[in-house]
Every structure is written in structure tokens, then in C-alpha cells.
Chain A
Amino acid sequence: MKKLLITILIMFTFATPALARVNIVATLPWIGSLANDLGKDKVNIKILVKPYQDPHQIEAKPSMILAARDADMLIYNGLDLEIGYLPLIIESSRNPKIQPGQRGNLDCSQFINVIEKHETADRSMGDVHPLGNPHYHLAAQNILGVARGMTQALCNLDQEQASFYKSNLAFFEATLKEKQKQWAQISLKGKRFVAYHRFFEYLAQEFGFQIVGYVEEKPGIPPSAGYIEKLIEDMKRLKPDAIITTTYYGKDEINALSQKIGVKSIVLPHDVGSAPGVNDWFSLMDTVLKSLQ
């Protein structure tokens, strides 16, 4: 009996530090990476979407429900990007802490300035996001907002470690400032690109380049042959600097176009982990900007 009690006591002593950690479930890799920068060893992070997956096409797998069941905080992109699986995961998680309106439910899009809102949208326009363009993570201003909001949310949830999270944020902001100085050397002003999907609009806004056309006829809908013909004509006239796409789709299409017109094609990592060496948000931006040069 005594032995059993001791064993139980030992188990609890060892279990306590693990319990003290905040369990975070992040939908996208960049969100997980940011949460890791801010929470470091005080958080456990599970990421639902793999770096090479198309974030629009995710299915609610039972393993995701299990991860959400044990989460103290669920952090997601928002702007309808996760609408195909996340509401189901939240409900099926049977976890009251991460339900909408709770402290453990964090929509990162509330901390950014959304562009491309569509007051009137219907599905004949393709996979349009009426709340605005959801691919906002390739922009320093947005990430700064999200990092601050995330820190505040972490502090609210885990007040004991508030100063730790805040100092991590301060370090993140200092690093960001340094990086921004480096990025200011990269001149993309006036460059013109044709993109596969509406993925780079926030980046274009921040770095002053132009996206003059899209390979997708409508968001999320593969281009028809007729549309491609028209695009080729347009591109001959517009002479863009390059055709760009992300690692998860459009590669074959832009390579074919590139060969046909003689404009170079660039495949950019879309998220943390989707290319070698891209292991946090900073290196993601580094790689994207370097490739666009």
C-alpha cells in the first residue's frame, strides 16, 4: 500500500511539469512556429496541417479531433480558410476550452488589416473568401499584430508566465526590426508578377510589387484551356518578371507557361517547413524575398 502511494506520488511529481505546459493546437505551420517563438518551452504545440498540404483542402481527420480534445488553446488563421474542417473539429473535440468565444479560441485574423473583402460574393466567382484574402502571413505588419495578439492571449491563459511570454515577444519584435532592415535592401518595387493563386497580395502591398495576372481563372478553380490562351496573350503584352506559385500546387502549370513564353517561373515556399531551410517565419520570408529578387 505504502509502495503504491509512493509510486502515485512520484507519478504526480513527474506529471506536474508536463501539466503546467500550455497545450496549443495550431492549424497552420506558421501559426505553430510563431506560437513556439512566443511560448518556447512553456507550451506544447500540435500543428494540424502539414507544410506540404494545400491549406484549402484539409479534411477533419479523427487524429485532429483528438489533438483538439486536449488543447488549452486553438489558434487558427481565420477568414474562412479553415471553414471546411475546423468548425467540425471544434465541435467534435468535446473540449469546452476551445469553443468560439472562449479564451482558448484564437482567430489570428482579428489582429490584421484585411484586404480584398467582398461585400457581395457568390460561388460562381469561384472559391472567394467574402471576409477578405486569408493569406496574410507573408507580411511583417500582419505578423507583428498576430504576435502581439497571441502573446496577450497566452498571458491571459497562463498569467504566471506572462513576463516570460512578453520578453519572448520583445525579442521577436527586436529580431523583426533587424530583419526588416535587411529586407529593406531587397528591392522589389515596380516588379510585376503573374501568380497562380491570390496568395501574395499582402506581400505585394508591403514590398511594392505588382501582381498583374492570375493563372487560376477564378480562385480555387483550375484554369480552362481558353483562359490559358488569353493569359498567354496578356503575358506577351505585359512582360511580367516571373510567374510565381506555391509549393503545393500550380507547379506544372506555371512551368508549362514559363517554357511557352520564356518568362521564368518561381516556386515559393508558402509556409514554414515547405522547403529545406525554411524552419520559422523569418526564414520563410527570407526565402520568399530572395527568390523574388
Chain B
Amino acid sequence: MKQGIILFLLLCLPSLSGYAFAESNIESRIRTLEETLKKQEETIKAQQKMINEMKEQIKKNEIATIPEGKEISTEIKKETKATGLFGGSALSNPNISLVLNTYAYSSNLTTDELKNRGISGYTTEGLDRRNGFNLDSAELAFYAPVDPYFNLYATIPVTEDGVEIEEAYFVTTALPQGNQIKAGKFKSGFGRLNSQHSHVWDFVDNPLPYRAFISSDDSGIDEKGIQYTYIPPLPFYTILGVEVLQGENKTLFGSDAAGGAHAYTAFAKASLDISDNSTILFGPSVITGKTKTDTIQTNSDFTGDTTLYGLEFTYKWKPTKYQGFKVQSEYLYRTQFGNLTDLNPGGIMKRLDRNQDGLYVQGVYLWNCWEFGVRYDTLSLFKDDYILNGVKQDQGRRPWRITGMADYTFSEFSLLRLQYNHDESDVTGKPNDELFLQLIFTIGAHPAHQF
């Protein structure tokens, strides 16, 4: 408004002066100019007064309306601007990433000895590693929102043996506050390491309790099924979950153990921020189901029931990008009962009861681009019952292992890791001294990792 008036006056000025020139009377010209100036001054004063009044009003918060010419732009520009949340457009293509996980390996044992290296009393499954170069996988991951109701994820590791579907599941995004359903094939929420992809683990391999109770390799409880989780409205973070799973995990259940889905999971996790920089996460898990497996003793079949209990604890302190400390531990306890049938000629069926446990504790210190970690894992910690027809079998001394690790992060997309294990898990055989040099690379748009 003020600007308009000034502009108008400015426009008037030349015509006024033109008039004065015509008169060729300088005095009258000056007078006219003076009058104009006076008028201008008055206008400006009046304007200023108005502005001051308006300011006063605004300050008193008395007016709810916006001053003239200051209408809030009502349109929120939705047009073509990409939102910065998922990075660009995921309409034409889902977000795609590839994680290459590869390692060089050296052990005092031969590749055959490694393959047959079970943990007696626990599992006959050996280690699938070769002295020399190993390609764990090149893992493709896809994710994108499906529509306003679902997000879809698929993890497809490509190995030298072929293509697998490790995970392919949807999660709901529109259920009432606190509720979520995940279904398809996915890593179970049981425990801590299990739900993580192995490339985010702090160590190359899984700890002994996982090897003994869940799976010899890093696949874990990775099942077709459905999961329901709920975050209750509590003052601290808690998540409660239940799952119904097909139960095809070879170590725990086996695909032929029952006609339909035959494994059930329940878990609860709670988390507290002890300070701005340190957080703990802890909780129990349980998984139970029907079992039919041949991994307990060579040339034997087992049918029965298995329940695995887990307790997890994680403490993380991370004040800056370049400094941090993490302690993580899980305790697993497995109870199993059923019939063990010796498949050798003349073999008989015996009643088997197993109540066994295991624990791992690991700590990792972060310093600049380096991480240094130690891990201790063991089995038969408090319980070591392997009972055949009511007679407890002696399994010898306690299996254990100690690990040292150092890794270097070039950027958040590349990592070089050196790890040494001294493994005394095979109580009848030799210790396994193994050295890994692992490289992990990520390209593309990889989904953010869980805490």
C-alpha cells in the first residue's frame, strides 16, 4: 500500500515539473514541489502511524487475521517436488541395493574336517567354509511402499549355488496406532542376532548357541509365516510380538514335522535411554514347535517337540560418529523331547530328552573408523542334559570359543574386517583356529538398519 502511494507520487512528479517548466516560473515550481513534499511527508507519517498501530496489535496478539498482503499461501506445493524421505521417486522402480559379502579364510583344519565338524550332543551340522577365498553372497534387496497400506521388502541373496529368497514380506502401515502385521517369508523376531541380516553383525559368523540351537550357517530362523507386533502406550519403548511360522528350520523343526504350520513364537523387547547417548534393549523370546530332524546324531532321525527360550541384552553408548561402545549378549535354553531312531541296520528307537543351554557375550569398541571387538561363547553353561531312555549321556567337557575382531569402515558403505576364532566346540576333535578377512560392500538404496 505504502509502496503504491510512493510509486504514484513518483509518477506524478515529472508531469508536475513539466507543468512548472511551461510556466517557466521557478518560484511557483518550488512552491509546488514543497507542497508535494509536505503532502508526501504527511502520507508517510500517516502510513507509519498505521504500521505502528498494526504492529502493536500483532504484538498484543489481538488480531487473528494476517496483515494485508500477507495471506498465507494456502497451497502446500505438492506438485513435482520429490520428498526427501525415501530419496527420489520409487514409483517407476523400487529401491534396489546389492550387498556383497565375501571373505578369505584360513584354518588349521581341512575343508573336509570343517564340513564334518559338528558339536557333539548338539548338532551334526558342520561348517561350510573353504580355506582360501569364499563368496558368502551378493544379496539383492528391494523395497518400496506398495500403496498407502503396505510396504514391501524382498531380500534375494545370489550365491554360487543359485538364487534364494531369503526374505519377501509386506508390513502394514495403516493399521490402528501401535499395531503392525508382517507376512510372507521373513526373519523371526526371536532374539537379537536372528532378526538382523548377517552383514550388520559385529562378527563374521554366528555365535555357538545360534549354531547349536538355530542354524549352522547365518540363516537363522527365517520362515514363511505371519507376525503380529504391538507397541503399547507405555512411558518407555516396549514391543510385543507373536508369530505363526511354517517351521521349516532344519535344526529346530524340519519341514516334515507336521502337516501345516507348526512353529509358534512370542517375544517382548523393552528399551530405555539411560542417557542421551546410551541405550539398553532387552527382553525374552520363545519359539516352540514340532520337530523332525536328522541333525542330532549321524544316521538318526528324531521326531518330537522343541522349545527354545532366549534372553537378550544390548547396551550401546555412542556419543559421536567416531566413538562408541556396545555390549551384547544372548542366553538360549532349549528343551526337546521325542524319539530318536537309529537308522543303522539293527538300530532301535530311543526316548531322547535334551535340556541344554548356551551363551555369548560380546563387546565392541568404536574409535574413529576402527572397531575392535571380543566375543566369548559357550554351551552347556548351566544345563547339559542329553538323556537317552532315562540315562544321562556324558558329553565330555564344555564347548567354548573365543574371538577377537578388528574392522575398518572406509565409509558407511564399505567395511574390511579381520577376525580370529579359537574354537573348542568340538570336544572330541581338534580345536579350530580360524582367520577371516571379510569385505562387505553396499551399493544402491539400502533400507536403514534397526537399532
| Given the contacts A94-B179, A111-B77, A174-B58, A99 and B173 also touching, CB distance less than 8 Å | yes
Render A93-122 as a binary contact track against B, CB cut-off 8 A, 1 for contact.
111110111000101011100000000000
Pairwise interchain contact A152-B74, C-beta atoms closer than 8 A: yes
Question: Which of B85, B151, B173, B450 contacts A78, CB < 8 Å?
Answer: B85
The stretch from A8-16, A161-169, A203-211, A230-238 touching chain B is A161-169
Pairwise interchain contact B413-A123, C-beta atoms closer than 8 A: yes
- The answer to the question of A131 belonging to the interface, with a C-beta cut-off of 8 Å to chain B, is yes
- The answer to the question of A69 belonging to the interface, with a C-beta cut-off of 8 Å to chain B, is yes
Shortest CB-to-CB span from A126 to chain B, Å, is 8
Across the interface, name the chain B residue whose C-beta is closest to A83.
B87
| C-alpha spacing A79/B86, complex, angstroms | 9
- The answer to the question of A227 belonging to the interface, with a C-beta cut-off of 8 Å to chain B, is no
- The answer to the question of B231 belonging to the interface, with a C-beta cut-off of 8 Å to chain A, is yes
- The answer to the question of B133 belonging to the interface, with a C-beta cut-off of 8 Å to chain A, is no
Pairwise interchain contact B76-A61, C-beta atoms closer than 8 A: no
Across the interface, name the chain B residue whose C-beta is closest to A97.
B177
The stretch from B204-212, B271-279, B296-304 touching chain A is B271-279
- The answer to the question of B397 belonging to the interface, with a C-beta cut-off of 8 Å to chain A, is no
Q: Which residues of A contact B346 (CB under 8 A)?
A: none
Pairwise interchain contact A107-B55, C-beta atoms closer than 8 A: no
| C-alpha spacing A130/B87, complex, angstroms | 8
- The answer to the question of B93 belonging to the interface, with a C-beta cut-off of 8 Å to chain A, is no
| Given the contacts A94-B175, A100-B145, A164-B64, A60 and B273 also touching, CB distance less than 8 Å | no
Chain A: number of interface residues, binned into ranges: 35 or more
- The answer to the question of A213 belonging to the interface, with a C-beta cut-off of 8 Å to chain B, is no
| Given the contacts A110-B83, A152-B74, A169-B72, A96 and B173 also touching, CB distance less than 8 Å | yes
Across the interface, name the chain A residue whose C-beta is closest to B62.
A167
Q: Which residues of A contact B320 (CB under 8 A)?
A: 54, 57, 248-249
Shortest CB-to-CB span from B235 to chain A, Å, is 9
- The answer to the question of B198 belonging to the interface, with a C-beta cut-off of 8 Å to chain A, is no
Q: Which residues of A contact B443 (CB under 8 A)?
A: 123
- The answer to the question of B8 belonging to the interface, with a C-beta cut-off of 8 Å to chain A, is no
Name the residue among A57, A96, A105 with the largest chain B CB count within 10 angstroms: A96
The stretch from A84-92, A253-261, A264-272, A280-288 touching chain B is A84-92
| Given the contacts A66-B231, A76-B85, A82-B85, A95 and B66 also touching, CB distance less than 8 Å | no
Pairwise interchain contact B448-A62, C-beta atoms closer than 8 A: no
Shortest CB-to-CB span from B238 to chain A, Å, is 8
Question: Which of A91, A100, A151 contacts B72, CB < 8 Å?
Answer: A151
- The answer to the question of A229 belonging to the interface, with a C-beta cut-off of 8 Å to chain B, is no
| Given the contacts A78-B85, A110-B77, A170 and B231 also touching, CB distance less than 8 Å | no
Contacting residues of chain B (102-151) with chain A, CB-CB under 8 angstroms = 145, 148, 151
| C-alpha spacing A101/B58, complex, angstroms | 34
Q: Which residues of B contact A245 (CB under 8 A)?
A: none
Q: Which residues of A contact B327 (CB under 8 A)?
A: none
Across the interface, name the chain B residue whose C-beta is closest to A40.
B61
- The answer to the question of B259 belonging to the interface, with a C-beta cut-off of 8 Å to chain A, is no
Pairwise interchain contact A94-B66, C-beta atoms closer than 8 A: no
Shortest CB-to-CB span from A71 to chain B, Å, is 10
Q: Which residues of B contact A63 (CB under 8 A)?
A: 236-237, 271-273, 279
Q: What is the number of contacts between chain A and chain B, taking CB atoms within 8 Å?
A: 167
Shortest CB-to-CB span from B328 to chain A, Å, is 15
Name the residue among B70, B81, B276, B448 with the largest chain A CB count within 10 angstroms: B448
| C-alpha spacing A95/B31, complex, angstroms | 73
Render B54-72 as a binary contact track against A, CB cut-off 8 A, 1 for contact.
0100110101111100101
- The answer to the question of A70 belonging to the interface, with a C-beta cut-off of 8 Å to chain B, is yes
- The answer to the question of A81 belonging to the interface, with a C-beta cut-off of 8 Å to chain B, is yes
Question: Which of B82, B84, B173 contacts A134, CB < 8 Å?
Answer: B84
Question: Which of A82, A105, A123, A163 contacts B411, CB < 8 Å?
Answer: A123
Q: Which residues of B contact A60 (CB under 8 A)?
A: 448-451
| C-alpha spacing A123/B281, complex, angstroms | 33
Q: Which residues of B contact A249 (CB under 8 A)?
A: 320-321
Across the interface, name the chain A residue whose C-beta is closest to B280.
A62
Q: Which residues of A contact B171 (CB under 8 A)?
A: 91
- The answer to the question of B25 belonging to the interface, with a C-beta cut-off of 8 Å to chain A, is no
Q: Which residues of A contact B237 (CB under 8 A)?
A: 62-63, 65-66
Pairwise interchain contact A57-B321, C-beta atoms closer than 8 A: yes
Shortest CB-to-CB span from A144 to chain B, Å, is 10
Across the interface, name the chain B residue whose C-beta is closest to A174.
B58
- The answer to the question of B15 belonging to the interface, with a C-beta cut-off of 8 Å to chain A, is no
| C-alpha spacing A88/B153, complex, angstroms | 12
Pairwise interchain contact A152-B231, C-beta atoms closer than 8 A: no
Q: Which residues of B contact A18 (CB under 8 A)?
A: none
- The answer to the question of A37 belonging to the interface, with a C-beta cut-off of 8 Å to chain B, is no
Pairwise interchain contact A171-B59, C-beta atoms closer than 8 A: yes
Render A176-204 as a binary contact track against B, CB cut-off 8 A, 1 for contact.
00000000000000000000000000000
Q: Which residues of B contact A78 (CB under 8 A)?
A: 83-85
Shortest CB-to-CB span from A210 to chain B, Å, is 27
Other than the known A83-B85, A83-B448, A87-B448, what 14 A-B pairs have Cβ atoms closer than 8 Å? Answer: A60-B450, A62-B279, A62-B451, A63-B271, A63-B272, A63-B279, A79-B84, A88-B447, A95-B177, A131-B82, A148-B72, A152-B74, A170-B58, A174-B58
List 29 A-B residue pairs with CB atoms under 8 Å apart, sorted by A's residue number. A56-B321, A57-B321, A60-B451, A61-B271, A62-B279, A63-B237, A65-B237, A66-B236, A78-B85, A86-B85, A86-B448, A87-B447, A90-B85, A91-B173, A92-B450, A94-B178, A94-B179, A94-B229, A96-B177, A97-B177, A100-B145, A111-B77, A123-B411, A130-B88, A148-B72, A152-B76, A167-B58, A167-B61, A170-B66
